[in-house]
Structure 1
Amino acid sequence: MSVKTKLSFMMSFIVFILLLVNVILNEYYTRVNLRAETQFNMTYISEMIASSMAQHIREYELLQTVFDEKLKVASAEAAMLLGKDVNAVTGTQLEQLSDRLGLTHLSVIIPSDGEYRIRSSSDPKLGGLTIKSLGKPNQVPQEGLSDLKKSNDFWTSAIEFNTSDTTPGDSGKWGFYQMEDRGYILVSFIQNNQPRGLGEINLVSDLSQSMTNKLTVLEVSGFNPVLFGKGPVGEIPKMISVPEMMQHPVSFGSYEYQEIKMDEKNILAASQGDNVFRYTKIKGQDVIKSFVQVTSPVPYVIGLVLDAKPINRQIDEQRNNQLFISAILLIIVVFCSYWLSDFLIRPIRSILWKINEVSFGRFDNSIEVKRKDEIGQLAKRVNAMSKNLGIYMTKLKMAFEENRSMKEYLESFINHTTDAIHVVDLKGRVTQVNRAFEELLGYSADDAVGNILPLVPEHLHAEELHTMEGLKSGKHLTARETVRITKEGEWISVSVTSSPIRDKNGAIHAIASITRDMTSRNKMEELLRRSEKLTTVGQLAAGVAHEIRNPLTTLRGFLQLQLETNKLNTKHVDIMLSELDRINLIVGEFLILAKPQATRFEEKDVRFILGDVISLLDSQAHLCDIEFLTHFNIETGLISCEENQLKQVFINLLKNAIEAMPEGGQIQISLDYKGSGEVSISIVDQGIGIPEDMISKLGDPFFTGKDSGTGLGIMVSQRIIQSHQGTMEIRSKVNVGTSVTITLPLLQGRSDPPPRPLR
């Protein structure tokens, strides 16, 4: 699909979406507005019905009052004109009185066999009949008789209304009058000529005339919210009074569009003051039902049923009009967008041609620019880009050749260096190795790459993990001496330098390690230590000989004394045994120092090691008029060490102190707890001191300030202290003295496992 077609399609699609949204919103607002207008009209109609009902009720109450007054006056006047004897009252008298007083008929009733019978009447048809025989329309007059008292009293019934199936004289208003001195009850009746009752008001026909063009009212109903839903609806009352009408679930109107359960909920909600409108389908017809509360004369709810077809028809017409207009607009937009796309794409074709030329590496041809708009500026930029690309391509070729040469040089350097180099990712998998790595550790490139190699001994895993975490956090690490395991399981002493490899964003994504075999260097250092030890042994020989000569002289004297006396003195024997033990101790310490020992770290108390060295050199110190002053200020000095190596360090330092004091003096030896789980050993002499410019060179091989020195003692001592994870500091002032402070970690304060010897 071409860009022109895509652009035309996109524009048309956007317009289509907008038109569709417009149709949907228009239909939505039309529906909302029509429903709101319909609900307003239904509320208005309900108010009109309520007003009509109130007017009709007022007319009914007024008619009741007029009939009551007329019956009361007529009954009182008729009672004054009739005699006390019921037998003297004739039908003719009653007929004359009823015509005179404007009554429909006038009758006299007397009690007979538990009911009331008409004794005489102005209407001959009623003579001799009981109240019950008058039928259903006159049940209310009969029931009212029970409310009459023996004294003078008057009572009227509610107005009854005529219907097509009633007979003359059975609809109207009754009046009952009883005097205390009469043995009969005077009954008066006025005919009601009203054509219909309250329940027969045709509210639909009365109200729909003004709404014919807008709404179609299908049904009007009056509901008693208290009674509706509590029992069967029954027949809607017609010829009854207002109070009786309100005692029915459906008080007036019709109720053919029934949904009793839903209507009950809506009527209950309307009775609480909320107008309810419901859109539903009844008898296959879409209708709108409304329920509006009326509080006068008694609380009731007016229900309306409207035909929803006019509203739906109006909504459909509005939607169809919108769809037709949108379709016309969409067709116009499609043609216009296609033409506009062709107009816009035309100059881009030349730019596309130039880009194709650039893609094939042809940068010389340029676009002819005739326009000054954004597309013309774009064409100029493409020409400039083509020219710059030609220049950059030349430079890139040169840079590529330089990078290729540098890459070959680096690969040659990495592969031909004697140090083993390997790279691991952050999960520990090997990603690259050089030839020296394969030769040193025995893993081929195929075996190593992509795998996690077991190079680190188990006891050093925690230390290695700590180192890797330091690298990942950005900490710079110096070379460290440690142990690695080859593929065959052999342990080798190495020096490892690790450094992070970062990406272009500066994030660490790999770690490179350079491993150097330290086996030859360690052997050389061991030879230097042994050479220094032999030198020290030679120099100690004189002191040891002098130390042994003293107990030997004592032994010889005691033995000669016993030979002369031929007696065995037990006290002399104890002294001789003590001297022999002393000789054995001196010889044992001397042999330990002189004899090569296997390097093995053990738990030792530094106080005892230093005490043994002091005992060994004590005789030589006496010969030089030197006194050892010791201050051990710690309760325990347990460290992980190689005892013979530490003794060699202490002997070297004490010998240097003795040789620096040709005039004699005191050497202070102290042990103190330094804090952080470390012990400090301090040796301070009162010798000739060391010049300041020589202190920085101490420890260099074969550098010495003594005529007969080798320059290896301090170097070997420093290496030994370093292998014990300690430090050694030398301070000196000429003609004042020298102080040497050694710091070693206590066993109780260590969190890492004790160091392993390098093999």
Structure 2
Amino acid sequence: MVKEDIKILLIEDDEDDAFLVKEYLSEVKNFACKLDWEPNPEQGKAKILTRQYDLFLIDFYLGKSTGLSIIDFITENQILTPAILLTGRNDAQLDVDASMAGAFDYLVKGDLRADILERSIRYSIKQARVIRELDEKEKKYRSLFERSLDSIFLANSKLEMLELNDSFLDFFGYKSSDLNKLHLRDLFLSDEDFERCVELLHTTELVKDFEVILVTKDGLPKTCIFNCVFIPDQADDFCCYQGIIRDLTLWKKAELDMMVAEKLSMTGKLARTIAHEIRNPLTNLNLALDNLKEEIPQQEEQFILYTDIIQRSSNRIETLIGDLLNSSKPKELKLELSSLHEILDDILELVRDRAKLKGIRIKEELEEELPRIFVDREKLSIALVNILLNGVEAIEHEQGLLTVKTEIKGGSIFLSIGDNGQGIEKEDLKKIFDPFYTSKSEGTGLGLTSTLNILSSHNASMQVNSKVGIGTVFEVEFPLPEY
């Protein structure tokens, strides 16, 4: 049988003991041992750092130094080579201390024989190889965990966070020191979504491709794909949940921007088609009405009644066509550096009177200082007034409240305008920006279409959240320039 070659470093300051160890090693049957004896502990440390040995044999008493201090040195330098501690006396506490320090075995010199030493070497090398394999796997998976672009977390059975990767910390705005205070619930915007995830984890131990709104530490909503799986372990203390979160915010924003652009494009085509197909016969109708007025005596009251009705209806059609064209065509902006708060002050004065007539209170929660942004004050004012008036008209009760809030989050200014009105049904929420869609008896359904067009021209985006019976919130995001 071919013997396995192993290279051993013996750190021993007693020459006689070193000679005995060498003799015992020569009698070992299953290993071809090459011994390097070093009596100086400091020189021994230097040789340890070369990482060229398969095993360390270390005496406990080394003058001013001890074998435990050398084993501590091995551990501190993350050297996985096994170390066996040699001592001249049998001491149970020393055995425990050696094990705690990281020694693979503890041998008493007075009891030492070739077979005992061989058994200890075989055991230590085998254990070291297992540890080395585990270490390599741990480093491999640790690298995947730490370098992943997706947010990854580990949580215990109570869904309290155990570990977070750097992408998670960066994405959600937390620090490593927040780990012990963070619960999975803190990531969810909606209690309903969180409870749905918990139910799936308890029943199927898996949540797969769940699209959900999560929130950062600063309260910034993020559209994400949430995956989580239960990882069982024989020891209950090590059972945990592993989750992977992928950010869809930019993708969703791009998708929304594309839908808005397509909607405005379709609206523009519809408007131009209507203008072309209706204005020609409308012009003929007006010309015929003018000729009719010239031919029939004006003093006939019934004639005047009917011609006025025709004229008003014709003018109304012309106005609607003009409004539709204006709501859909790209806006030519006159940009100037402006304060959003100043714009809000001006338009709230316009809305306040109508709100007072309905007994509606306006609450302002404005960030103390906001950077100025380039906007067309007149057109942006029109868009924001449309949103505010929609909020006022949605409230039909005596405890009406309109909330206007500004804040900076994630490199953008967010303006939210919320009401505690009747709310909007989920199926209707997708239609509110469509031309001619309105729930008002006297509305044209073009106000929000025009608002969306103006905001898109400013590179601003808008989201609407609403619950029937609770109210509606319009949130406008103005991205700040990157410097």
Name the TM-score, length of structure 2 as normaliser. 0.42
TM-score (norm 1): 0.28
Q: Give the greater-gyration-radius structure (CA).
A: 1
